[in-house]
Structure 1
Amino acid sequence: MILTVDTGNVVRKGADSFIGINLNYIRDEDANRPKARPLVDALKQLNGRWLRYPGGEKSDFYSWAQPPYDKPSAQSIGEYADYPGARMDFDAYMKVVQSTAAEPYVVVGYDSLKRTGVTKEDWIKSAAGLVRYANIVRKYNVRYWEVGNENWHNGTATPTEMAGIVREFSEAMKAVDPSIMVGSSGSDKKWWSAFLPAAAPHLDFVSLSLYNCYNWKSYTYFPQNLRSDTIAQVHEALESIERFAPPADRARLKVVVAETNSKDYTDNWKDKNNLGHALVVFDTFGRLMKEGKVQAAMLWTTRWINDAEATQCQWYALDKDNGVLPVGMGIELWGRFILPEMIQVRGEKESIVAYACRSSDEKRVTLWLLNASTSATSTVEVRLNSSTTFTGIKAFRFGGNSPDDEAPALQAVSAPLLKDQTIPSVVCGPISITILQIE
């Protein structure tokens, strides 16, 4: 197999500021694991550039402060009030953001009165109060704000009703700070077709949750269907913007993948924290990065509720000591090696998927070679189509014994030969990612 890396063909600028992760304000506070390394150290290792707070559905059962909304006092309501843990309040979250130089992304809660016991009017007052506190009082300059979590879910509202609710939120929040970017979620074409005509003028982006392994049954679906569209839901959202949003709003609207993970919601492919899930997570982020109108994508999640289950559940990027678990490696493999500009790779076939990034001056390139096969080793010739003359390589391999391996490892390996802008032979073992740093 011959792969050509076109360093002059830039697919995305700002690739190194694309990937992020959801936090869990209920469980992420360092006080909940006093013997662990600090959360900030773990996030720096992952190098995710966006931090979504306070999390997913829990955002709709979260009170950031009490009226008159002048001081954070994180409280959980509804069923989430029963979960143990010292809560991470808004100032503590922003301290994490500042310590990691990440982009803050805040979900302001909204769900029905029936589900939460909170009126729409009070949700809007809380949201506007948080914008005021964050950007006027504390000068945090939080730019990205999502109204509610997965509003298409749990009977929150119809898409038409939600469009009106989003308008009210957006107007109230932008009255406080007109510079902010406001987004809201959707699920499929049926939702977008009813939601976007009225909502789009009041939005700057739309968000969605991408769980793209429905009914896969096992990891083997991945190598057997490697060229299938595993981000079809994103393509549907992009197409819906062009079809259903008013023409004046289409060009400026972006998509944010607020949550993603390799979950099979039929539970046929068990949600273990293992190499197979890590490889799919890694590949999903690579595919999303190629989409120019996708603003960002964030892994679900640092952790769920019970640290004791972390090594056995894919809802944990981090373990009880804030060590990085296999699913977390799905973003660390990007964060550790990524460069500012994603570039084109041509010639993929068989079980190999390839991604590449370069430095802005074109003097450094990172190449990732994912071999999805469970059994076959592939040998790849890499040709570097570049005006830069490259002279050195460092090589790393991430892999394990099987897709079910719960302790895959990333390690340095012997670098392949580089001669005359060609790497004649890169041996890619099964179920692995080979990373080449080329200078």
Structure 2
Amino acid sequence: MPNTLLRAASAALLTLTVLNISPAYADEVTPVAVTVNARAGLATVPSTGIGSNHAIWDSQLGTDGTADVLKNAGMKLLRYPGGSYSDIYHWADHTAPGGYVAPDTDFDTFMRGVRRTGAQAMVTANYGTGTAAEAAAWVRHANVTKGYGIKYWEIGNENYGNGHYGSPWEADDHADKSPAEYARHVVAYADAMKAADPSIKIGAVLTTPANWPDGLVTAGDEGTWNKVVLSMAGPKIDFVILHWYPGALDKVAHVPDMIYLTRRQIAQYAGPGSERIGIAMTEFNTGSSSNGTNTQPGALAAADAYATLLANGVFTVDWWNVHNGIGTVTQVEGQTDYGDFGLLSSGTCTSDGSVCEPTLNTPFAPYYALQMTSRFARPGDQLIRAATDHAKVSAHAARRPNGDLAVLLLNTSSDTSYPVTIGYSGFNPASGTPTVLTHTNGATSITGSEAGSATSQTLPPLSMTTIVLRPATAQTGLPGAPRQPTVSEVTDKSATISWPAASAGARPIVKYEVRRQNGAISEQLGETSGTSLTVRNLKPGTRYTLNVIARDSGGGLSWASPPLTFTTGTPASSSCTVRFTDQTDWGNGYLGAIDITNNGAPINGWTLNFSWPRTWQSLGSGWSAVWTQNGQDVKAVNEPGNGSLPTGASATIGFVGNYSGPNVLPAVFTLNGTVCATP
């Protein structure tokens, strides 16, 4: 055994002993490599990041006991009055015709609990059976009469579920149930509510990419729900609302594209100034009762999703629900799973009384996931890139304003303890034993200890682990981080990046470095003494995420700027042109049409190539060409009757594309090896 591996194994054995974990097979497991890159900055953790839903049918909504347990989890936002009840609830008389309203759940009681929790409130105004005047009166009562200072107000809840797309669950008294009608009312609600308090933020409901009914267009509509709502109401709103119940525990890889596509739709449809519009995930739950709704697998999925959503700039993620009630009872990983979507036990029993939940307000495993996330990433921390080389282990990292760094490690294996070796870029950890927070399968609290080192830890099966590290040297006198960069003059191979000048520290700033995020690795694209740089040699049709870092005369580096993401185009002119359209979408597949035009010398025989951006996309069938797929690469070869393309001639081919995640469309097409223009 090499000396380096021997030292790693010895450190792992020491960690296992400290954590009282059997080391029987730890030395047989290859260490997992974790990479943490402090130069690859992601979003800053907002003050509203960790949230949950409250519902007016929950009699414990306003109790001190509930508020205190939520406060201990680090809860920063609470949403009211609860899911689809929002569209039947009338705040003034505290009624919800057709639904149950529990005692002591009125709005003022809710706000008393919010304040005791130390959180902010988000309120959903009744669109389905309410009016703009009713919503404006609620704003006036909350912020003018009571002085609650509630900033975030949604207009309705899942209003696309009103039957317009075929599946009705959301109350909607409007004769017209189209997205255009919803958008018209969002405008009216926003005007009335902001007249009562101009400082509030208004949110509109969107469909979540790759989640029903995203992508569908109904007869008479000008486009999808999102296109219509953003086009009509975009200038009046301040944030958009997504809900996500992935139904499986391995869907966190969908998050970056989900948020990317949402931002792209906002930029495309919401009009000038749309960059101000934020994204809120106001309902989230793993939605996987068979795999562990309130046991450790669900908790691990929750921690992974919360950290990933916040890293991608979502300003709040709100669990469904604080209390929900017992469902189908199963055994998951040796623990009783009550099929309860709540964070806390409702203390309820099955209908026959054979199984009862623990005592009221007993935390379920996802509660500890939110608690761990709130301790890992605190408001004001900057999330940074982290990655692992093992599918069973995931990593997240956050840089704190005082210079500390926290790393969250999740082991989803049911039976294997994984030793991990952690490498750092842009951060030099202090020597010594770090503080370690751990939650394991079936545990009833997060435990704290000092164990392992900054570069070596061992992760128990089904565990969440956070290590908090001090820097080796004091982080003083460094330049301030550059603020948000912007991009202009984007072509297929270049783009101009600009940013506001950073504030100097103890020494003057001498240059700025522009770095690309390539996974958890940073690649420097260039440097300049100014505040603008044209980066070149980029790849066509490629998504880039960049940070800007300031360097002073002593070599001191600032924190990374907020990330900038953009996608390069294709050549402005080429010997071929491809026009690609998504003609008809049904939520997990679509008809794609490709028009190929030859702008060069006559062609006798052609091959068109493109690649699926993601592994969850595939070719279903195709026509007017011979279609094949190899991995993510797709090839279409001419048929005998359409292989000749004289100069200026075109051929039209088509295919069925399948997808099971956010559907980022192919962007680069080559014809006989030449990259085509795609106007």
Please report the TM-score for the alignment, with normalisation by the length of structure 1.
Answer: 0.81
Partner residue of 1:27? Answer: 58
1:382 is the counterpart of 2:408: no
Q: Which residue of 2 aligns with 1:281?
A: 302
Distance 1:373 1:338, change over 3 A: same
Kindly indicate whether the alpha-carbon contact (under 8 Å) linking 2:79 and 2:123 is maintained by their aligned counterparts in 1. yes
Larger Rg: 2
Corresponding residue number in structure 2 for 1:302: 322
Q: Which residue is equivalent to 1:367?
A: 407
Query: How big is the shift at 1:244?
Result: 2.0
Partner in structure 2 of residue 335 of structure 1: 374
Identify the match of residue 226 of structure 2 among 192, 197, 200.
Answer: 192
Quick one: distance in 2 between partners of 1:397 and 1:408?
9
The answer for the alignment partner of 1:397 in structure 2 is 438
Q: Secondary structure at the match of 1:142?
A: coil
Match of 2:154 in 1: 146
**RCO (CA 8 Å, sep 6+): is it higher in 1 or 2?**
1
Q: Which of 110, 115, 129 is equivalent to 1:93?
A: 110
Note if 1:244 corresponds to 2:269.
yes
Contact 1:26 1:87 in 2 (8 A): no
The answer to whether the Cα contact below 8 Å between 2:377 and 2:383 also exists between their aligned partners in 1 is no
Aligned residue identity for 2:123: V
Q: Distance in 2 between matches of 1:429 and 1:239?
A: 40
CA distance in 2, matches of 1:30, 1:431: 31
Establish whether residue 254 from structure 1 lines up as the match of residue 271 from structure 2.
Answer: no
Change (3 A) 1:358 1:231: closer
Deviation at 1:162, TM superposition (A): 0.9
For 2:195 and 2:448, the matched residues in 1 are separated by 55
Of the candidates 203, 206, 223, which is equivalent to residue 237 of structure 2? 203
The answer to whether residue 146 in structure 2 is matched with residue 125 in structure 1 is no
Whole-angstrom CA distance in 2 between matches of 1:410 and 1:101: 21
Q: Hey, what's the Cα distance between the residues in 2 that align with 1:202 and 1:30?
A: 32
Q: CA deviation at 1:8?
A: 5.3
Percent sequence identity over aligned pairs: 25
Contact kept, 8 Å, 1:74 with 1:87, in 2: the verdict is no
Which structure features the higher share of helix residues? 1
Distance 1:2 1:182, change over 3 A: same
C-alpha distance in 2 between matches for 1:377 and 1:311 = 23
Listed as ranges, the matches of 1:77-88 within 5 Å are 77-78=97-98, 80-81=99-100, 85-88=102-105
Would the aligned equivalents of 1:59 and 1:148 in 2 still touch at CA under 8 Å? yes
Q: Which has the higher strand share?
A: 2
The letter of the residue matching 2:305 is T
**d(CA) in 1 for partners of 2:372 and 2:463?**
12
Q: Which amino acid letter does the alignment assign opposite residue 416 of structure 1?
A: A
| Residue equivalent to 2:145 | 137
Shift of 1:306: 6.1
Displacement of 1:199 after TM fit? Answer: 1.0
Asked if residue 317 in structure 1 is aligned to residue 343 in structure 2, the reply is: yes
Amino acid at match of 1:263: G
Aligned equivalents of 1:43 and 1:105: distance in 2?
A: 16
Secondary structure of the corresponding residue to residue 47 of structure 1: coil
- Change over 3 Å in CA distance of 1:372–1:392 after alignment to 2: same
User: Quick one: distance in 1 between partners of 2:279 and 2:434?
Assistant: 36
Measured on the aligned residues, the alpha-carbon RMSD in Å equals: 2.7
User: 1:437 aligned to 2:437?
Assistant: no
Q: CA distance change for structure 1 residues 388 and 230 in 2, over 3 Å: closer, same or farther?
A: closer
Structure 2, unmatched stretches of 5+, are 1-31, 164-171, 208-213, 216-223, 330-335, 348-359, 471-679
Match of 1:290 in 2: 311
Deviations 1:11-56 (A, max 9, x none): 2223564111111222143688xxxx71111111221111101111
Alignment partners' CA distance in 2, 1:302 and 1:185: 22
Show structure 1 runs of 5+ residues with no match.
66-72, 112-117, 401-406
**Which residue does 1:41 correspond to in 2?**
68
In 2, Cα distance between the equivalents of 1:347 and 1:311? 30
Cα gap change, 1:367 to 1:388, in 2 (>3 Å): closer
2:84 and 2:324 map into 1 onto residues whose CA distance is 12
- Report which stretch shifted further, 299-308 or 377-386: 299-308
Aligned equivalents of 2:226 and 2:431: distance in 1? 47
CA–CA separation in structure 2 for the residues paired with 1:237 and 1:285: 17
1:138 Cα deviation from its structure 2 partner: 1.2
* Equivalent position of 2:122 in the other structure: 105
Give yes or no for contact 2:384–2:399 (8 Å, CA) kept in 1.
Answer: no
SS at match of 1:170: helix
Post-superposition offset of 1:325: 0.8
- State how far apart, in whole Å, the 2-side matches of 1:238 and 1:166 are: 19
8 Å CA contact 2:294, 2:342 repeated in 1: yes
Cα 1:390–1:162 change in 2 (3 A) is: farther
Change (3 A) 1:413 1:177: closer
Q: Which amino acid aligns with 2:74?
A: N
- The question of 1:164 aligning with 2:184 is answered yes
CA distance in structure 2 between the partners assigned to 1:360 and 1:301 by the alignment: 32
